[in-house]
Structure 1
Amino acid sequence: MTLKQAFAPLVDLIYPPRCPLCGSALGEQGGLCVSCWSELVIPGEPACATCQRPLQASEAGEGSRCAPCLASPPDHDGISAATLYNDASRKLVLTFKHGRKIALAGMLARLIAARLPTLEGEWLAVPVPLHRRRLWDRGFNQSALLARELAKRDGLTLLVDGLVRRKATPPLGGLGRKERARMLAGAIEASPARLAQIKGAQILLVDDVMTSGATTQACIRALRKAGAAKVRIACFARVLDEAL
């Protein structure tokens, strides 16, 4: 019996297990009630092997790719999203990030891990970075917490400072692709102290939510520039309206 298991009854007595979305009583810590579980949308099949966009059954086959990925192959080596971004996943992310319920990291990471393929060889878990001002204000990087949990689960090497955000950027919502790229130009780069570890490495880039992909793309460019051999994206929720 682990120390965590030994103290679980005491923790449950002091902090009765509750669903973080609706507050309903639960049998144990670290989960959702049945009703809230049913509100999460898991990316379905068939889907593009590279970007996870849904495909028509007639287009599907092992390793099938969507038209955009065939026309312009992405710089990454695949996307693994635990859920699609909807009201339920949004509320979970907000509770985790802005509600400071960092204990949710374990559950969110388990959901991400369930969507990951087998990662052959050695991999580094690198979180999408926060600017130091945002980090000071919030007190933690939610992506780093997820990366830490994934590293523990899957035996990855955590490189929490693999990327650094040199420039603070405003929210990118509502901006066009070119404007997003302009705002992020020079904002993210590989940490000079980690260049030797990144060169030739297989990287699992971890984020909580992938929206337009602009920030993710800036991270991928920085990792590729530093010589990363592979970069796979792992996130809890992904905005992919055509899949809902």
Structure 2
Amino acid sequence: MSPTGGRFLALSRFAAGSVLDGLLPRRCLSCDARVGVTEGICATCWRETPFLERPWCQRLGTPFSYDVGAGAWGPQAIAAPPLFDRLRAVAFYDGPARQLVLSLKFSRRRELARPMARWMVRSGQELFQSDSLIVPVPLHWTRRLTRRFNQAADLAREVARQTGTGYEPLLLKRLKRTRQQVGLTAGDRRRNVRTAFALDARRLGAVPGRHFVLVDDVLTTGSTVTACVRCLLGAGAASVDVLTFALVDPNTQPARGRDLP
């Protein structure tokens, strides 16, 4: 294409974009206020989002109030090391971050998966290896039939696409329709999902010696991801990391619900 043709095409795209912006102004993903960028949040929502930033616990990704050195573990990880290697999340499950999770999950705003995954990739960039496989936490087929999609799978697919990492959406299966985890104590959550997951026998050959990144929308006590991690490690996975959009702050949970690993 000639330089003149290239400039004309660029101007045409700019003009088309300007027209669309006038007809369909950009909106904050959380509160619907007008914003200046596509797939972004407004300044107010940005300030109110409890983003997780370094320095943080190497295992659980929870922030430290001051830098204690690279690779440090927090008290919770030391007291009860999780089965997974590392956990990374974009934000605590509060404010606009909570609103985004609920909008994706219950309002079926599936277009949110792409920008949410972009933030997840940023937060979990150290988790991705050349031979990694990304797997979502699965839904039981009856719940998926009712909801019509799995929000964890939408996020995992976008994370895989944005990182160029392998994606295996059908490796993990949920064998039974468990009770909703909301409102259950940590112990009840563990019992609720103890035998809920298994691996697809036709895909077991993809597991031994591989590194996995398990993706979900929000982590509360960790009982669900722990059950999934146990399945992968039991089948020979070399290691499993966990990547979620949001993490319930373990310091604000009721004492009966604290059981992150």
Q: Deviations over 1:17-42 (max 9, x none)?
A: 21132221223431111211221111
Aligned equivalent of 1:114, options 122, 125, 136: 122
Partner amino acid for 2:85?
D
Aligned to 1:166: 175
Mapped partners of 1:81, 1:116: distance in 2: 7
- How large is the RMSD of aligned CA atoms in angstroms? 2.3
Secondary structure at the counterpart of residue 51 of structure 1: coil
Query: 1:89 Cα shift?
Result: 1.1
1:141 paired to 2:141: no
Q: Which runs of 5+ in 1 are unaligned?
A: none
Mapped partners of 1:166, 1:192: distance in 2: 13
TM-score by length of 1: 0.90
1:76 paired to 2:84: yes
1:156 paired to 2:165: yes
Partner amino acid for 1:99?
S
Secondary structure at the counterpart of residue 144 of structure 2: helix
Aligned equivalent of 1:197, options 203, 206, 209: 206
Aligned to 2:95: 87
Q: Deviations over 1:214-237 (max 9, x none)?
A: 111111111111111110000000
Q: Deviations over 1:136-180 (max 9, x none)?
A: 111111111111111111111110111100100112233233322
Residues paired across the two proteins, number: 241
1:48 paired to 2:90: no
Query: 1:200 Cα shift?
Result: 1.5
Question: What's the % identity of the aligned pairs?
Answer: 35
Q: Which runs of 5+ in 2 are unaligned?
A: 1-8, 254-261
1:33 paired to 2:57: no
Q: Deviations over 1:82-108 (max 9, x none)?
A: 111102111111111111111111100
Distance 1:13-1:188 versus aligned 2 partners, 3 A rule: farther
Q: Deviations over 1:12-68 (max 9, x none)?
A: 46543211322212234311112112211111333211112344537x111111233
Mapped partners of 2:184, 2:198: distance in 1: 22
Secondary structure at the counterpart of residue 111 of structure 1: helix
CA contact (8 A) 2:50 2:95 kept: no
Query: 1:189 Cα shift?
Result: 1.1
